[in-house]
Each structure stands twice: as C-alpha cells, then as structure tokens.
A and B are shown apart, each in its own frame.
Chain A
C-alpha cells in the first residue's frame, strides 16, 4: 500500500469539499474492491475519503411503490431488510449471494454500482428494475448510468447517495457463478416493470452490463420461459477468458434468463 491522506467526513458537504480539495482523491465506501487494490499497489490515490461516518446514507425505506436503499447499505443489510423482502424479494436474494460473509458485511450497494465491475451482481438488478441513482447533484436513470467496464456516468467528486427502485410486478436474478471467484460468470436479472419486461445481463458482456432487448420484446408478448425458446444470443459481444468462452456464456445467458423468468413467476 502506498501512503495516502485519509479523511472521514461526517456530512456529504464535507465529503464533497474534501474530494474537491485534492485532485485524484478517491471515495471509500465498503472498500471490498478498493482496499485489495490498494494493498496490491494496483491503485494509488493521494487521498481516501471514507464515507462511513456520513449519517443517513445506509437507510432502507419504502415510500408507496418505491423502495429506496441508501448507497452505504451493506449487502447484509439489503439481504436482511424486511422492506426489501416485502417490495422486491429477488433483490434481497441477490444481496445474500454476493461474495462471502466478510464481503457482505463490508461491501455496499453504492460501492458496487459506482465501481461497476463487469461481473458484479447489482448492476444487472438496477438496470433491469429501471432504478434511479441519486447523487449529490442529480438523479440518473439506470439506462444512463453504466458506461462500460468500471465506468459510470458519475463525475469526479460526485457522490452516489441512494438508489430508488420502482416496485416491479415480478423480479428475479439468476446467477451462474464463476467457480473460482464466485462473481457472476453470467448473471441475468429479469423484471416485469410498469414499462414492460426488462432483462439485464452481467458477467458476460465485453463492455459490462447490458440489456437483452430481443428477450425483453419476446417477454413483452408473453412473460413466460417458452417465449425465449427461439432467441439466440450473439456471442461476438461477449467475453472470452480462461473461465468461459463467449459461446458458453451466450448459451448460459439463455439458460439463466429462462431460470430467472421461472423464478420470477414462482
């Protein structure tokens, strides 16, 4: 680990000031990606701004048909929340299957989304559920948020504060875990929303999470696994690595979508 300044603001305003004050300052949420990267000297930042003392960022609440989750809510909090279980049970199940207990106790939903690891679970759910990502400056629609591998619409010094999920008619997430890392080799989130079915895929796309529009259209006609029978996923847009070739990932997307639809209907 290289030496860095460490700030632990107690308000968002202080946090923003700290970020603006030092070029290259980095936000620390749960630290489940950042800390290993620092320890391995893969990342070097002059300053780390730790959000853990900022109040109110981990709240989970339901307002009408909207479930809002604070950016600093840990995966365990989401997994165990009665509000999440009542509004979108599949989201609680997703949180419960992230990483291991250590990761779930430290890692946060906001950290995961801001990091936008191409194999993370949350991006698929947020995209499928057509969530809104609220920051210190604005609200960003999920469709506008994810910008490729480890890239998002967040500006420098902009802090993600809350994710608002409109309650879907149905939702499920089906993950095929990488046997080694247990990240998603292919993860598919399927939501039947007010604006129609949405299908988002993580783990497989060579530029990160993406929507499977052909499948959405098919499910729009009939929200059933059979609707997907004839849809072939194009492998050319998918990742090939030592764990899975693109054609296997393409095949798994088909299987996982089907299983997610079945789970959503169950």
Chain B
C-alpha cells in the first residue's frame, strides 16, 4: 500500500472545496445558502457515495484489501431522503448554512398578473407531477489519472470530462491544485457523458493532488456501482402546475410551483438547472400572457443532482405538455387542435419568462406529425385494440428547448460564474491540410465528422485533409465544452468565424501572388480565381505561398495561415418540435407496447442528417427510459436500492419502437450556420408524449413515472373501476 489519505490531509494542503458556479438569489433577494462540498468528507458524511477516504496502492486488489481495513467511527444521524418533507421544521439539518434544508426559494414571472388571470379564468386545470430521479449511466464510467512532474512542477490530469478547460479552471482557480499554466487536463475519447461528466468531482481533485503527495501517478476508475452511487443524478422534481383557460381553450396563464431535489451538495451547475434552465421554458410553444413559477432548491441525503441530458427542459416540457393535454381532455377538445390554437405564430416572440424565441414554425411541425402518425386513423386502431382486449392511447408533446448555450452577458446577469462562448482555431499547414482546434468536446456526438463537414464545405477540401482536435488544454487554448446542445450552434459558429478570418487572409495573399487588384479574387470550391482573368490557384498552392512568404510583403501580411476566433452567441437557440407516441396496453399484465413514434423536429439547418437522426433516436430512448423504466430509489435510510443493472432498468432495443423522424426546419437567425441544436430534443419530448399516450389509453391521469407494468396494471384496474361507475 502506498498511502491512505483523508479530508484532513486535503485541508492541511489547503486544497479547496468543490464549487457550484452559478449564484441564485431567493425571491427575498438573499443569496442561495450553500453548504461546503469538500472533495473528501470532513467530519460529516452526507450521502451514500460521499468520498470518505482514499487508499492508494500498486494494484487494484491491494487497494481493495486496504480499503476493507479502513475503519470509520460513524455516529449515525437520521437521514433526510424524502423531497416532499425535507423542508419541514424539525428535520435533521444537512448543512448548518441551509436552514430547513432549503438552498433557495426562487421565482420568476409576474405573480400579480398571473393571479389576476387565474381569478378571471373560466376553467383552471391543476395537476401534480413527479419527475422521477434518473442516473445517467454513460457507457464509460468516470476515470482519472493524476500525474505530477517534479522536473517542471506541472500536473497532468487525464480525465473523462465534457469540458476539460472548465475542469482546469475550477481545479486551478477555485480548488487551488496548481496555476493554470502548471496544469494540463486531457480528456480525449470519452465514452459518453449525458451531462454527468460536465461536473468537477472529488476524484479528479484527489488523483491530481495525491500524485504529488505520493510521488507517482495516481489512477482511479469508477466501477459501475460507484457510478450509480456517486455520479451526479438527474431530474427529481415535485411540481404543482395550473393552467388558466378561457372557455375556448385559450391558455391565459400558468402557475407552477416546484420542489427540486439538489441532493446532499451543490454540484457544479446544480443551482442553475431547476431555475434559469427551467422556468424560462414554461411558455412552451404557446402564446401565454402571464406565467409565474416558484422553485425551492432542497438538500437531501442523496447523490447531488445536476444537469442530465435535457437538463430540466424535459421537466419543463413535462409540466407544460401534461398540463395542456389534461386541459384539452377536461375541456373535451382535441389535444392537437387545442395546441394549434395556442401556438405562437410570429417571431421574434417575447415570452413572459425571459426567453425571446427567434424563429420557428410550430404549426408546420404539428401538421407534419399528425400526417406521419396517421392521426386520422387512430380511432380505427383504437377500436381494433379494444376488440383484442387492449387499451390504446395517443399522446403529444410539442416541446421547446433553449440551446446554443449561451450569450455570456445574458447568463452573467442571471448569476453564471462563467461566460458561455466558444473558441476555435484553424491551423492551415503548408500543404493545405487543416487542423481545427475546438473548445467543444466530443464524447460521442461525432464532431470529428460534423465540424470537418463545415470546414470541407467552406474550404472545398476533402474530409481526409481535415483533423478535429479537442479535449486537451495544452492544444486548444480555451473552451467551454459540450453540453446543452451547444456544440454546433456555438462551437460550430466559432469555427465559421475563424474560417472567415482564414479565408480573408488567404484571399488577400492570393491577390498578391496572382498580382491582381484588391477585392478581385473569388474563393469557391477550393480555388482562388481572379475575376476577369484566367488566373487561379488552388487551396493547397495558396497554403504553401502563405508559408514560403516570397510573393507578398510580410510587413503588410504576416506569413503563415492560422486564425483564432471566440464566438459569443447573440441569443439562445430554440429548437422545437412535435413528438407523437402511440401505445397499446395489455390491462391484464400492465405491459405497455409502444406501437408508433413520430418525431418531427425543427433543429434549424441540418449539417449531418444521419448524426441528427441518431441523436433523436438516442434521446427518445432515454426519454422512454424515464417514462417507463428508469427510477433511482433510495430507502428511508438513504441507501440507494437501485445501484446495479439488476435493479435499475435501462432501456433496451426491445423496449423501443421504430421511430419515424422528420424535419421541418426554420433557419436560426441567431448564428451564422442557422443551426439550433439536436442533442437533447428526444429526451425532452418523449416522457411527456409517452405519459400523455398512456393516460389517454387508461382514461385517467393517475400514474407516476416510471410507468412500469406494475404501475400501469394498477392504473388499468382503476380505469376499470371508473368505467364501472
């Protein structure tokens, strides 16, 4: 065994605590009440998965043997697990800083206007929702290797990060491992993240710090159960939502009150997720005059909760789309028609909850989805199912999301600790091959293809001559990483901006080389040609000329061809779409078969249709997982009961339908590529669509996700009772 280390040694070495990088203020103006989140627990352990001690050994088996010998003297405290009651007076206090386990009581919107609209409304629909806790389950668990080099005094951290530069920034500026110039973070091929690898966890801190302490590299690889216990979880909301409607089914106002479980500590972006990523989307695709939303952020003795694919846009969509669906049922109106009647039809559109939608055509998506799903034939299919003793239902979700995260100044004014621009550097080699260094991070998104397509199209050179470089702080100068469906809209736009600079300089060089007048050279399909002459040169000839620098005045034009750009978006992007799920339930067993799935999305311009379609499929799979299969369950003592695949049900191919994917794109005016983002849409739309379909089949609203066979069977029995009454 090499060493056993605890939080005491960390404190002695003045290694700081983990941070939450977004300040939220409560409605009374007070800053959020955050407890300290040490990388290794100090005196108090707050959830099963908290890091208690570190054993470093030469082999894994030796480390395990030694870990079994670590004996910890625990005084057991009562656990706070239940979100609904965690804030009650008299409950154990998880952090002394946060009375009643309440981190903040935040709100957004005009309460008086909303209340007035409710008072005048002909009809009010009220629902209570549970948004179940999920565990991300990337195929590659988290891992880290810290390495200290005594010669240079520098550290290298190899890690599974979605944003290595942010990891370096936090480890350096806030945790105090080493200054940025002495800390290199490398995260090249990462096996999936879904958000869980955005955050800075204790393990990376410890591996890096300990590598100096023990004088050799320190490696840690999470096993699967550790992932279940200690990766940031997702969702976990309790919500009461109300819609004020007029007699014709026009939505007048929405009122939403949510308790968000933040777990035992505030993870890196946890505070922003149920607040500024949530309430600004509560207008959905609808023209609503008044919205008021209150959110309590709550500590419990559970794994920290942070952004997970969709990052609270699934929760917002679930609120809006369940509410609209139930309202339509209560008013006896067709749910598609009620939606159409309320859709926003002119853009830009300012919602009452900050968001300013730039472009969209919601009716086009709905019409296309109705056609593709054969909505007209649903009645006949339902009758056929009924003859077979089955219950059939159809459900809609007209979702909206805010992607292209995010305009730096705007998020700064809302409490973000960082800007959310993106950087790109284009390095043209003397033979014309191109290296693109991007601050976006690819962990399964296929940036190597999509970004290369952007460059290939622009420069007229084949994909093989383009390399995409990411995931290394020594190569890429800075970047904000990949999450929130931001890579194409923000990272791709940074590449475009850098390409503009490269082409401008190259064109200038071309005029000198070809000895023609300024502004007389066109660049198209990889060829520079001088207008009105037969002079031209290829991209690779130009690249060589840029580096030999014989034919232009280097006091006017610098030799070489390399440009950097930092792109800060002017607005969020607002992808939208309509998903329609159709299910058939066997009331005898509660088994729900997803018979049809239609996804019509507006992602703006599409660069690579296959990758986009794959994102839709994967997103739907995760949404189906949330709606029917996945559930993180803690017992009352805070033990996670679903800490392996024996108990936590991940979607399998056989759980999924064949998915009809269609696009009704509108150009996004907020970035040069006209793209909106597609990475999360499926996960955002599908839980609402599926629960709407299941409740339609059941004939009542009383079911909580995940709609497992047992839950559906019980609900189907209730349906039978209702029918008998």
Chain A residues in the interface with B (C-beta under 8 A): 1, 3, 41, 176, 179-181, 183, 242-245, 248, 251-252, 255
Listed residue (B629, B655, B708) with the most chain A CB atoms within 10 angstroms of its CB: B708
Interface string of B645-671 (1 = CB under 8 A from A): 111111000010000000000000000
- List 23 A-B residue pairs with CB atoms under 8 Å apart, sorted by A's residue number: A1-B61, A41-B68, A179-B629, A179-B655, A180-B647, A180-B650, A181-B645, A181-B647, A242-B633, A242-B641, A242-B642, A243-B647, A243-B708, A243-B710, A244-B710, A245-B710, A248-B590, A248-B713, A248-B714, A251-B713, A252-B589, A255-B588, A255-B589
Interface string of B384-396 (1 = CB under 8 A from A): 0000000000000
A234 to chain B, nearest CB (A): 19
A41: B residues at CB distance < 8 A: 64, 68
The answer for the CA separation of A251 and B68 in the assembled complex, in Å, is 44
Listed residue (B589, B650, B714) with the most chain A CB atoms within 10 angstroms of its CB: B589
Nearest CB to that of B61 among chain A residues? A1
Nearest CB to that of A39 among chain B residues? B223
* In the assembled complex, B154 has its CB within 8 A of some CB on chain A: no
CB contacts under 8 Å to A, within B508-547, are none
A183: B residues at CB distance < 8 A: 646
Nearest CB to that of A256 among chain B residues? B589
Q: Apart from A248-B590, A255-B589, list 19 A-B contacts with CB within 8 A.
A: A41-B64, A41-B68, A176-B589, A179-B629, A179-B649, A179-B708, A179-B709, A180-B645, A180-B648, A180-B649, A181-B646, A242-B633, A242-B641, A242-B647, A243-B647, A243-B708, A244-B710, A245-B710, A248-B710
Interface string of B61-73 (1 = CB under 8 A from A): 1001000100000
A84 to chain B, nearest CB (A): 25
Chain A contact surface mostly: loop
B589: A residues at CB distance < 8 A: 176, 252, 255
CB contacts under 8 Å to A, within B690-723, are 708-710, 713-714
B497 to chain A, nearest CB (A): 47
B59 to chain A, nearest CB (A): 12
A35 to chain B, nearest CB (A): 15
B689 to chain A, nearest CB (A): 20
A10 to chain B, nearest CB (A): 30
B710: A residues at CB distance < 8 A: 243-245, 248
A150 to chain B, nearest CB (A): 15
Nearest 8 pairs of A and B residues by beta carbon: A180-B649, A181-B646, A179-B649, A248-B710, A244-B710, A255-B588, A242-B633, A242-B641
Nearest CB to that of B642 among chain A residues? A242
Chain B residues in the interface with A (C-beta under 8 A): 61, 64, 68, 588-590, 629, 633, 641-642, 645-650, 655, 708-710, 713-714
A251: B residues at CB distance < 8 A: 713
Nearest CB to that of A245 among chain B residues? B710
A2 to chain B, nearest CB (A): 8
A214 to chain B, nearest CB (A): 20
A248: B residues at CB distance < 8 A: 590, 710, 713-714
Nearest CB to that of A186 among chain B residues? B589
B583 to chain A, nearest CB (A): 15
The answer for the CA separation of A244 and B714 in the assembled complex, in Å, is 11
B709: A residues at CB distance < 8 A: 176, 179
A176: B residues at CB distance < 8 A: 589, 709
Nearest CB to that of A100 among chain B residues? B652
Nearest CB to that of B223 among chain A residues? A40
The answer for the CA separation of A183 and B68 in the assembled complex, in Å, is 31
A3: B residues at CB distance < 8 A: 61
The answer for the CA separation of A105 and B695 in the assembled complex, in Å, is 41
The answer for the CA separation of A41 and B60 in the assembled complex, in Å, is 13
B633: A residues at CB distance < 8 A: 242
B645: A residues at CB distance < 8 A: 180-181
Nearest CB to that of B706 among chain A residues? A179
The answer for the CA separation of A255 and B589 in the assembled complex, in Å, is 7
B648: A residues at CB distance < 8 A: 180
The answer for the CA separation of A41 and B64 in the assembled complex, in Å, is 9
The answer for the CA separation of A245 and B590 in the assembled complex, in Å, is 14
The answer for the CA separation of A252 and B588 in the assembled complex, in Å, is 8
The answer for the CA separation of A27 and B629 in the assembled complex, in Å, is 36
A252: B residues at CB distance < 8 A: 589
B65 to chain A, nearest CB (A): 8
Nearest CB to that of B590 among chain A residues? A248
The answer for the CA separation of A181 and B652 in the assembled complex, in Å, is 11
B649: A residues at CB distance < 8 A: 179-180
Listed residue (A3, A181, A183) with the most chain B CB atoms within 10 angstroms of its CB: A181
The answer for the CA separation of A1 and B647 in the assembled complex, in Å, is 22
The answer for the CA separation of A60 and B590 in the assembled complex, in Å, is 38
The answer for the CA separation of A245 and B714 in the assembled complex, in Å, is 11
Nearest CB to that of A249 among chain B residues? B710
The answer for the CA separation of A41 and B588 in the assembled complex, in Å, is 41
B712 to chain A, nearest CB (A): 11
A179: B residues at CB distance < 8 A: 629, 649, 655, 708-709
Nearest CB to that of A1 among chain B residues? B61
Nearest CB to that of A40 among chain B residues? B225
Nearest CB to that of A258 among chain B residues? B588
B650: A residues at CB distance < 8 A: 180
B61: A residues at CB distance < 8 A: 1, 3
Nearest CB to that of B68 among chain A residues? A41
A242: B residues at CB distance < 8 A: 633, 641-642, 647
B694 to chain A, nearest CB (A): 15
B68: A residues at CB distance < 8 A: 41
B513 to chain A, nearest CB (A): 62
The answer for the CA separation of A183 and B647 in the assembled complex, in Å, is 11
The answer for the CA separation of A255 and B647 in the assembled complex, in Å, is 24
B67 to chain A, nearest CB (A): 10
The answer for the CA separation of A196 and B641 in the assembled complex, in Å, is 42
Nearest CB to that of A119 among chain B residues? B646
A200 to chain B, nearest CB (A): 20
The answer for the CA separation of A181 and B646 in the assembled complex, in Å, is 4
A245 to chain B, nearest CB (A): 7
B644 to chain A, nearest CB (A): 9
A1: B residues at CB distance < 8 A: 61
B647: A residues at CB distance < 8 A: 180-181, 242-243
B641: A residues at CB distance < 8 A: 242
B629: A residues at CB distance < 8 A: 179-180
The answer for the CA separation of A58 and B581 in the assembled complex, in Å, is 48
Nearest CB to that of B717 among chain A residues? A251
B646: A residues at CB distance < 8 A: 180-181, 183
B714: A residues at CB distance < 8 A: 248
The answer for the CA separation of A3 and B714 in the assembled complex, in Å, is 48
A225 to chain B, nearest CB (A): 12
Nearest CB to that of B645 among chain A residues? A180
The answer for the CA separation of A242 and B590 in the assembled complex, in Å, is 16
B62 to chain A, nearest CB (A): 11
B590: A residues at CB distance < 8 A: 248
Nearest CB to that of B589 among chain A residues? A255
The answer for the CA separation of A242 and B710 in the assembled complex, in Å, is 10
A118 to chain B, nearest CB (A): 13
A259 to chain B, nearest CB (A): 9
A8 to chain B, nearest CB (A): 22
Nearest CB to that of B641 among chain A residues? A242
The answer for the CA separation of A108 and B303 in the assembled complex, in Å, is 38
The answer for the CA separation of A180 and B645 in the assembled complex, in Å, is 6
The answer for the CA separation of A219 and B710 in the assembled complex, in Å, is 28
The answer for the CA separation of A244 and B649 in the assembled complex, in Å, is 13
The answer for the CA separation of A1 and B68 in the assembled complex, in Å, is 12
A243: B residues at CB distance < 8 A: 647, 708, 710
A180: B residues at CB distance < 8 A: 629, 645-650
The answer for the CA separation of A158 and B714 in the assembled complex, in Å, is 46
B639 to chain A, nearest CB (A): 12
The answer for the CA separation of A187 and B709 in the assembled complex, in Å, is 15
The answer for the CA separation of A180 and B631 in the assembled complex, in Å, is 11
The answer for the CA separation of A248 and B717 in the assembled complex, in Å, is 11
Listed residue (A180, A183, A248, A252) with the most chain B CB atoms within 10 angstroms of its CB: A180
B655: A residues at CB distance < 8 A: 179
The answer for the CA separation of A255 and B588 in the assembled complex, in Å, is 7
